[in-house]
Amino acid sequence: MSDVKYSKEHEWIKLEGDIATIGITKHATEMLGDIVFTELPEKGTSVEKDGTAGVVESTKAASDVYTPISGEVVDTNQAIVDDPSKINQDPENSAWFFKLKVKDKSEMESLMNKEDYDKFAKESSS
Amino acid sequence: MEIKKTSLYKLHQNNNAKFVEFAGYQMPIQYSDGIVEEHKFTRMHSGIFDVSHMGQLFIYGENNLTEDLEKIFPLDLKNLKINHSKYSFLMNDDAGIYDDLIVTKLEKGFLIILNAACKENDFKILSKLLNGKYEMLLDEKRSLIAIQGPKSVKILNNIIQGVEDLNFMSGNWFSFHDQKIYVTRSGYTGEDGFEVSILNELSEKFTKELINKGAKLIGLGARDTLRLEAGLCLYGHELNKDKTPVEANLKWAISKDRVSKGNFIGSNIITKQLNDGVSKIRVGIKPEGKIIAREKTKIFNQSDLHIGEITSGTFGPSVNGPVAMGYVENEFSNKDTKVFLEVRGKKYPANICGLPFYKKSYVKGVNK
């Protein structure tokens, strides 16, 4: 999974060709607790790097989901809207949030690899 | 100010609690199972809640104590039987609520359970009102442990024989390892259950016995979703000193007999509001879709007029959908009135509904 990168806002992004799949990390779900509501961006909308592109809510609070890269939303995962608990179960795989047609692949360069992210996540939670 | 810990702090830690500061105490918000599972476990089995941060105020005194307390609380305390409890309020002259509380009549006085965030202030107010005439003890040597849910009666009766004979809102002294504990059949989840006042030294031993019998520790997070589904108010959210019990739709807790005679703090306003009605009132609110409307969410009517605000809102795990309470202008408070909730700039449809969202299972008819 060397093609997966991570953001400081705890999103993961997997690039295949010019399509990026984005979700939130396992660490993020552990901090949030049980996710009970999800809102995703609409297909066809353009999102800007570091802009909000969705919402997840736990029983306690709402949190914005940011996109770590700019692009046009080409697909969203209805399964996690219908059953948000799927995000807690499988955050970094089947419970992806949305897919983007990437505008500028060089934006990936500022993101972290797995090793750096794990270190960052550990530090930010301690 | 140093953050306080309850006598069960270590036990919480050993059970992987996530802690949060609440009213100056380090309290468990959830354990490893998470809020949704903890909530469901309480509804199906038996949950243990450390509520030791709440105030346990013992007031002892002779004859006049009851009369003096009736000048403060809108309760018929003269006719309250020993070991019976009533929900009530400490109010200011405008009937604004300083705290909501439970008053229990004891043989030689009263036990009043106070909210953690209010207890110090309540103590000051009550000390002043009672003018040093009585012995008042805000007991820090006792912990308060709630055990809630359908299996609680069996589990607790196994440890403390006889608690199964208590009715909802009544209590008695029992003993645990030769120490006196005070048990009431009460709680704040909408489930059958008990609250146990026990010496700090024994609280961990007692809680471990409950766990051995199948009960599980439950955090404050699930306590909040449970009480909200049960339509119960939380001080600082539904209740504060700018709201009266009538506005909070809690007039059932005010003794009719006492209102007709007046003569308690705030009675003028209460009487006026009972006769003339109120402009805003607490209601249940059920969003039509999945949207969760949190505290401070604005409520609009069908003509887009701002008519009120949400005071508590979350996802109700047993209802399996969003639930909320809030205050709306009286003319929009009827059941099934359609309203709109503004969340993140968009308006979502919702309906005013009756409370509770989840049916209460209090045990009232125990034969004895």
pLDDT per position as a tens digit, B144-170: 999 999 999 999 999 999 999 999 999
Strand order in the sheet with B85-91: B85-91, B97-106, B109-114, B55-60, B135-138
d(CA B197, CA B186): 12
d(CA B126, CA B61): 14
- Mean pLDDT of the region B62-77: 95
Element (H, E) at B256: helix B256-261
Specify the CATH number for the domain of residue B315: 2.40.30.110
Of the three residues B196, B213, B229, the one that is the final residue of a domain is: B229
Q: Residue B46 falls within a domain, yes or no? A: yes
Tell me: do B286 and B349 sit in the same domain: yes
The pLDDT tens digits for A14-60 are: 999 999 999 999 999 999 999 999 999 999 999 999 999 999 999 98
Q: How many CA atoms lie within 13 A of B277 on its CB side?
A: 6
pLDDT of residue B364: 83
CB spacing of A59 vs B291 below 8 angstroms:
no
Q: Residue B60 falls within a domain, yes or no? A: no
| A 64-83 residues inside an 8 A Cβ radius of B | 81
Tell me: do B145 and B49 sit in the same domain: yes
Percent of chain A with pLDDT over 90: 92
Tell me: do B290 and B149 sit in the same domain: no
Q: Residue B269 falls within a domain, yes or no? A: no
Tell me: do B212 and B292 sit in the same domain: no
pLDDT of residue A1: 44
pLDDT at residue A95 greater than cutoff 70: yes
Tell me: do B160 and B34 sit in the same domain: yes
pLDDT of residue B240: 98
Beta carbons of B149 and B96 less than 8 angstroms apart: no
Q: Residue B119 falls within a domain, yes or no? A: no
pLDDT at residue B122 greater than cutoff 90: yes
Task: List, in sequence order, every residue forming a beta bridge with B330; answer none if it has no partner.
Answer: none
Residues of B in contact with A61 (CB under 8 A): 294
Closest Cβ opposite residue A62 in set B36, B39, B294: B294
The sign one gets for the Cα dihedral B351, B352, B358, B359 is negative
Q: Residue B202 falls within a domain, yes or no? A: yes
Amino acid letter at B301? N
Residue of B nearest to A57 (CA): B292
Tell me: do B223 and B289 sit in the same domain: no
Tell me: do B224 and B283 sit in the same domain: no
pLDDT at residue A126 greater than cutoff 80: no
Closest Cβ opposite residue A59 in set B35, B290, B344: B35
Tell me: do B33 and B161 sit in the same domain: yes
The pLDDT tens digits for B247-295 are: 999 999 999 999 999 999 999 999 999 999 999 999 999 999 999 999 9
pLDDT of residue A60: 87
d(CA B340, CA B251): 27
pLDDT of residue A111: 96
Specify the CATH number for the domain of residue B178: 3.30.1360.120
What mean pLDDT is reported for chain B? Answer: 96
**Cβ neighbourhood burial of B347 (10 Å; 0-12, 13-18, 19+):** middle
Residue B357 token pair: 């969202």
CB spacing of A33 vs B35 below 8 angstroms:
yes
How many independent structural domains does chain B possess? 2
CB spacing of B221 vs A85 below 8 angstroms:
no
d(CA A87, CA A36): 9
Which position has the token pair 């002294």? B173
pLDDT at residue B46 greater than cutoff 90: yes
Q: Residue B65 falls within a domain, yes or no? A: no
User: Nearest-CA distance from A72 to chain B in Å?
Assistant: 22
CB spacing of B292 vs A57 below 8 angstroms:
yes
d(CA B91, CA B88): 10
pLDDT of residue B62: 82
Residue A93 in contact with partner chain B when CB distance is under 8 A: no
How many helices and strands in chain A, by DSSP H and E?
4, 9
Residue A105 in contact with partner chain B when CB distance is under 8 A: no
Of the three residues B195, B213, B229, the one that is the final residue of a domain is: B229
Residues of A in contact with B37 (CB under 8 A): 34
d(CA B122, CA B188): 20
Q: Residue B218 falls within a domain, yes or no? A: yes
Residues of A in contact with B321 (CB under 8 A): none
Residues of A in contact with B29 (CB under 8 A): 60
What domains can be seen in chain A, in order of their start residue? 4-104 (2.40.50.100)
pLDDT at residue B43 greater than cutoff 90: yes
User: Nearest-CA distance from A35 to chain B in Å?
Assistant: 9
Q: Residue B325 falls within a domain, yes or no? A: yes
Closest Cβ opposite residue B315 in set A37, A55, A81: A37
Q: Which domain holds residue B287?
A: 279-353
pLDDT at residue B20 greater than cutoff 70: yes
pLDDT of residue B54: 98
Q: How many CB atoms lie within 10 A of CB B311?
A: 24
Residue A31 in contact with partner chain B when CB distance is under 8 A: no
Of the three residues B202, B229, B256, the one that is the final residue of a domain is: B229
**Cβ neighbourhood burial of B28 (10 Å; 0-12, 13-18, 19+):** buried
pLDDT of residue A77: 98
Tell me: do B31 and B153 sit in the same domain: yes
From the list B282, B260, B281, B255, the residue with the least C-alpha distance to B271 is: B260
pLDDT at residue A121 greater than cutoff 80: yes
CB spacing of B36 vs A34 below 8 angstroms:
yes
